Amino acid sequence: MTLKEIALKNLIRRKGKVAFILAGLVIGVCTVVTIISLVEAMTSDINKKLEKYGANILIVPKSEKLTLTYGGISLGGVAFEMEEIREKDLVRIKSIKNAANIAAVGPLVLGVINVDKHKVLLAGTDFKAIKILKPWWKVKGNLPIENEVILGDETARILNLRTGSFIEINGQKLRVSGVLQPTGSQDDQLIFSRLETAQSLLGKEGRISMAEVAALCTACPITEMVKQISDALPSAKVMAIQQVVKSRMETLSQFKKLSYGVSAIVILVGSLVVLVTMMGSVRERTKEIGIFRAIGFRKSHVVRIIFIETAIVSGFAGIMGYLLGLAATKIAVRFFTESQSVSIPINFELAGWAIVMAVLVGLVSSAYPALIAARLDPNEALRAL
């Protein structure tokens, strides 16, 4: 006979009380695991979306002049007179420390052209990079090859052109391979061609007006990468597009705080359930504890029996709570994220923490009942029967 065996037999005998403690702790652990897993899943989902969001670093020529445009409205006064970036300099981006985090670099050459008495902005770009930089683009037709262009939706409307039409730019006849569906951005008012085509038409061979960079956000320090690119391209101005990232992350951070608050309350309720149940259990076991003490059990032996019982139940509650939390997360994640493909893998670290937390809450909550039990005077306990 050992203290552990006494504890185990007691648990088997008191199934109702064990179930009550188990339920209190399982609900607590399950809630915490669900909340943490959900926040992790949502963070991962947002990160994935941010990766898909496109360019998050902008490289533009350095200028000492201020722009006088706001919300797409030009107030005039500033000419397009910056020193452009040399295309071959962009190669240096691939040598920065966090080069592995760069998903795509999209050079862009810009210039004004005349099409049928209209002044239009021609943009030359790398269409392989565009797929990553602007994943929301939908082209009615095909992406352009040599001597082809695609038109922004607004441009196509104003110039009354469609896929298959031909336009003449600086004496060169180009075929419209497709029309960009409305994006709600400036892209609707542009004509796009391959980078080399635009450079040739604009007389800007080997030069680019700006470059967009898509960095993988999950593992990359954007601010650090901006500095690294700035060092690699000292003649260019490098900026991070942080607004969207920050606002989403802030929302998530608020949600996290709320979640942790809710978790704390649930754990508190769980620990109260353990406390009340164990107090009741100690009261019911006055005779048993009196016998233990009368036959020579020390106070510490009585405390150990109660702690072993609680540790077994709460450890089991930790495992059950984690598994139920995992299942609950898989269901809840569908309601909290748009993506249906968010995976919730078994997180052994979280599982370990769930078990440790459950045991800790159980032990702390049963400390007072254990103390009461240990303090029971054996003579009083046996006389009270």
Partner 1 sequence: MSFIVAENLVKQYGNGDATVSAISDISFQIESGEFIGIMGESGAGKSTLLSIMGAMNAPTSGNFMVDEIDVYSLRQEQRADFRREFLGFVFQSFHLLSYLTVAENVMLPLTTVKASRKQKRAMAEEALNNVGLNDKANRLPSRISGGEKERVAIARAIVNEPPVLLADEPTGNLDNKTKHKIMELLQKLNTRGVTIVMVTHSLQCAKYAQRILYVSDGLLVENG
Shortest distance, position 295 Cβ to partner 1, whole Å: 5
- Rounded Cα gap, residues 191 and 89, in angstroms: 25
Contact by Cβ (8 Å): 96, 228 = yes
Question: Among residues 328, 314, 323, which one has the least CA distance to residue 25?
Answer: 314
**Of the candidates 275, 129, 292, 286, the residue with the CA atom closest to the CA atom of residue 195:** 129
Instruction: Give min distance, CB of 291 to partner 1, in A.
Output: 5
In the complex, what is the shortest distance from the CB of residue 23 to partner 1, in angstroms, rounded to a whole number?
22
Residue 141 as a binder of partner 1 (CB under 8 A): the answer is: no
- Contact string 260-299 vs partner 1 (x = CB under 8 A): ---------------------------xx-xxxxxxxxxx
The per-residue DSSP string of 221-243 comes to: -HHHHHHHHHHH-TTEEEEE--H
Check binding of 300 to partner 1 (CB under 8 A).
yes
Torsional class of 171: left (φ above 0), alpha (ψ -120 to 50), beta (otherwise): left
Q: Which one, of 240, 202, 234, 233, lies nearest residue 125 by Cα?
A: 202
Question: Considering the rule CB under 8 A, would residue 6 count as an interface residue with partner 1?
Answer: yes
Of 284, 317, 291, 258, nearest in space to 30 by CA: 317
Asked if 37 contacts 329 with a C-beta cutoff of 8 angstroms, the reply is yes
C-alpha–C-alpha distance, residues 222 and 207, integer Å? 26
Binders of partner 1 in range 301-330 (CB under 8 A):
301
Contacts of 275 (CB under 8 A, 6+ apart): 365, 366, 368, 369
Closer CB to partner 1, residue 73 or residue 385?
Answer: 385
* 3 sits near partner 1 (criterion: CB under 8 A): yes
Q: Return the range that interacts with partner 1 (CB under 8 A); candidates 2-10, 42-50, 95-103, 270-278.
A: 2-10
Closer residue to partner 1 in complex, CB, 245/291: 291
Helix (H, G, I), strand (E, B) or coil at 358: helix
Segment contacting partner 1 by CB under 8 A, of 3-11, 131-139, 149-157, 173-181 = 3-11
Candidates 8-16, 220-228, 270-278, 362-370: pick the segment binding partner 1 (CB under 8 A): 8-16
Q: How far apart are CA 107 and CA 286, in angstroms?
A: 81
**Is 9 near partner 1 (CB under 8 A)?**
yes
Among positions 60, 132, 324, 382, the unique one binding partner 1 when judged by CB under 8 A: 382
Is 227 a residue that touches partner 1 (CB under 8 A)? no
- Based on the shown chain and the rule CB under 8 A, indicate whether residue 378 belongs to the binding site for partner 1: yes
DSSP-based three-state secondary structure for 328: helix
CB of 338 to partner 1, least distance (A): 55
* Residues binding partner 1: number (CB under 8 A): 29
Using CB under 8 A, pick the residue from 73, 75, 346, 385 that binds partner 1. Answer: 385
Q: Is 371 in the site for partner 1 (CB under 8 A)?
A: no
Q: Give the binding site for partner 1 (CB under 8 A).
A: 1-3, 5-6, 9-10, 12-13, 287-288, 290-301, 377-379, 382-383, 385
